[in-house]
Amino acid sequence: MISYEVYKVAHLAAVLVLFSVLGGVLVHALNGGTRAANMARRAVAALHGLAMAVAIVAGFGLVARLDLMSGGVPPWVWAKVTIWLIAGLLLALPYRRPALARPILLVGLPFLAAAAAWLAVFKPGN
Ligand code: HEM
């Protein structure tokens, strides 16, 4: 049985990798870089996909270990799943809308990271 601690390390490592990858793509796009011009695009896509998968699996592993599912999935967990979905969309968005790369890097990513951490720590409505 996978422990709470192992799920937590996996979850945190995955979200750190996820946000690092998104930061790299955002900086590349705001410098005028295209997807094709990104020499690391395959590695970036692979890391993003792997980090997304580990983040959600370990996230629900944590939910299970914390016995949070008795009354169904709590609303703050759905909010975190929404943040996770947005992180999924953010790989392609900077190339499609390069003008958004700077505001996403400077405001969007920090806001999403802070919101995700806040939800996990305060568990509003739990
Ligand atoms: C990209 C999105 C996400 C980010 C940035 C993120 C970030 C974090 C962080 C920083 C923590 C540590 C908080 C602490 O010290 O307790 C955490 C814990 C946690 N996360 Fe996430 N998370 C994300 C997605 C998810 C998803 C999708 C789920 C559920 C499916 C989830 C469920 C949890 C749970 C249950 C905890 C443990 C709370 C505790 O130990 O009390 N997270 N997350």
In this model, does residue 115 exceed pLDDT 90?
yes
Q: Which residue among 20, 80, 123 has the greatest number of ligand 1 atoms within 8 angstroms of its CB, and so is best to mutate?
A: 80
Would you say 52 and 84 are in contact if contact means Cβ atoms under 8 Å apart? Answer: yes
Distance 116 CA to ligand 1 centre (A): 6
* Identity of residue 109: L
57 lines ligand 1 (CB under 6 A): no
Nearest to 80 by CA among 109, 116, 104: 116
pLDDT in tens, 45-66: 999 999 999 999 999 999 999 9
63 lines ligand 1 (CB under 6 A): yes
Would you say 119 and 75 are in contact if contact means Cβ atoms under 8 Å apart? Answer: no
In this model, does residue 126 exceed pLDDT 90?
no
55 lines ligand 1 (CB under 6 A): yes
The predicted pLDDT at position 65 comes to: 97
The tokens of 70 are what?
């008795």
